[in-house]
Amino acid sequence: MEYILETNQIEKRYNRFKAIDNLSIHVPKGAIYGLIGKNGAGKTTLIRLICDLQKPTSGSYTIYGIKNTDKRILEARKRMGAIIETPSIRLEATAEDNLKEQYRIVGLPSFDNLQEILKLVGLIDTGKKKAKHFSLGMKQRLGIAIALVGNPDFLILDEPINGLDPEGIIEIRELILKLNKEKGITVLISSHYLDELSKIATDYGFIEKGHMVQEICKETLEEKCKKRVELEVSNVKECVKYFEEKQLSYEVISDKCINLYDEINITELAVALSKRDCVIDKFQEKEESLESYYINLMGGGNNV
């Protein structure tokens, strides 16, 4: 698989405090990668390291396969855009002037697709309105527009929907999906809004205390979260034989526990198993969301 961003045992210390601890992340090309973790988990620090705002204490990372210590990394950075915490915008200037300045910084010879970018983020009609009079959602979209100057293939968004109203959240979500689907931009997005993230992300990284707990793709996560019946039985072998005969989808969890993913009549199942000397001790229907999966993974619901 081709990765836009990879880190290798990256570490960041502030004196004795380890903000990032031997963290490895793999962002596949074309993905919307959701970086999930509670406050202080190290999401923003990781993004700052990737964006070269801070230097790693040890370890390395690659962007488009170029190592951070390689001089060519500056060229690779020209193909990325980012918003970290708050969008980098000039409040006294209009949306158009903000973009024009970014065009000059990037070094583009003309303002050719400026209007196209404004249209893409829905700010085409802002005219001479200064950015300081924009709503939070508009400022966030302007930040994304600035990050889009220079046609980046990789966009990093740190908490882009923080503080937005429901309408703003939908606008940003639609925009991210549009950028990913229509422009093929890979997006790394950190957020606390797990439900919102589950609507757009194709890959997830769960981070805790500066360490990557798990990286998982959407398909595998859906597989793990899908509706199931958790059975505790006296004889797992007989239970498996029965499920095989009936061609049911199942997963053995332990020598007493088995998960059944297909629908079944419970009376029929209990009778059939009892004929095989197998008793159902416990029966529980389960369905996990990204949120409950995250809570289970992190081992509790504090600070989520």
Partner 1 sequence: MYRLLKANFFRLLKNKIFWGIVIITIMIASFLVVNTILNHQGGTKEGIDRLLVIYMNIIGIFIAIFTSLFVGTEYSDGSVRNKIIIGHSRKNIYLVNLITSVVVGICIECVYLLIVAIIGIPTMGTLQMTADKFMFILVDIFFIIVAYASIFTCITLLCSDITVSTVTCMILVLIMFVATIALSSTANASKYHETYITKDNGEIEVHQELNLNYPGDFPKAVAKTILYCIPTGQAYEIVSQVGKHPLQIVDYMSDKDMKMASLYSLAVIGIVNGMGMYCFKRKDLK
Contact window for partner 1 (CB under 8 A) among 70-78, 163-171, 189-197, 271-279: 70-78
Distance from C-alpha of 168 to C-alpha of 264, rounded to nearest angstrom = 43
Question: Which of residues 40, 58, 69, 91 is near partner 1 by CB under 8 A?
Answer: 91
- Rounded to a whole number of angstroms, the minimum distance from the CB of residue 49 to partner 1 is 10
Question: Which of residues 84, 118, 187, 194 is near partner 1 by CB under 8 A?
Answer: 84
78 binds partner 1 (CB under 8 A): yes
Half-sphere exposure of 65 (CA within 13 A, CB side): 3
Largest CA distance in the chain: 80
- Rounded to a whole number of angstroms, the minimum distance from the CB of residue 74 to partner 1 is 4
52 binds partner 1 (CB under 8 A): yes
- Burial class (CB within 10 angstroms; exposed 0-12, middle 13-18, buried 19+) of 152: buried
89 binds partner 1 (CB under 8 A): yes
Q: Looking at residues 135 to 154 of the shown chain, list those that interact with partner 1 (rule: CB under 8 A).
A: 146, 150
Nearer to partner 1, 87 or 168 (CB): 87
Which helix (H) or strand (E) covers residue 218, if one does? helix 218-225
Distance from C-alpha of 154 to C-alpha of 46, rounded to nearest angstrom = 16
Q: Looking at residues 8 to 47 of the shown chain, list those that interact with partner 1 (rule: CB under 8 A).
A: 14
266 binds partner 1 (CB under 8 A): no
Nearer to partner 1, 11 or 101 (CB): 101
272 binds partner 1 (CB under 8 A): no
Question: Which of residues 32, 36, 46, 82 is near partner 1 by CB under 8 A?
Answer: 82
Q: Looking at residues 99 to 128 of the shown chain, list those that interact with partner 1 (rule: CB under 8 A).
A: 100-102, 104-107
Nearer to partner 1, 16 or 55 (CB): 55
CA distances from 202 to 46, 164, 300 (A): 20, 23, 24
- Cβ neighbours around 132 below 10 Å, total: 11
Which residue from 147, 179, 141 is spatially nearest to 161, judged by alpha carbons? 141
Phi, psi dihedral angles at 257 (to 5 degrees): -120, 140
Question: Which of residues 88, 235, 259, 292 is near partner 1 by CB under 8 A?
Answer: 88
Distance from C-alpha of 123 to C-alpha of 138, rounded to nearest angstrom = 7
87 binds partner 1 (CB under 8 A): yes
Q: Which residues pair with 20 in a beta bridge?
A: 12
Contact window for partner 1 (CB under 8 A) among 22-30, 74-82, 158-166, 275-283: 74-82
Q: How many residues are given for the chain?
A: 304
55 binds partner 1 (CB under 8 A): yes
- Cβ neighbours around 229 below 10 Å, total: 18
Which residues form the interface with partner 1 (CB under 8 A)? 14, 48, 51-55, 73-78, 80-82, 84-91, 100-102, 104-107, 146, 150
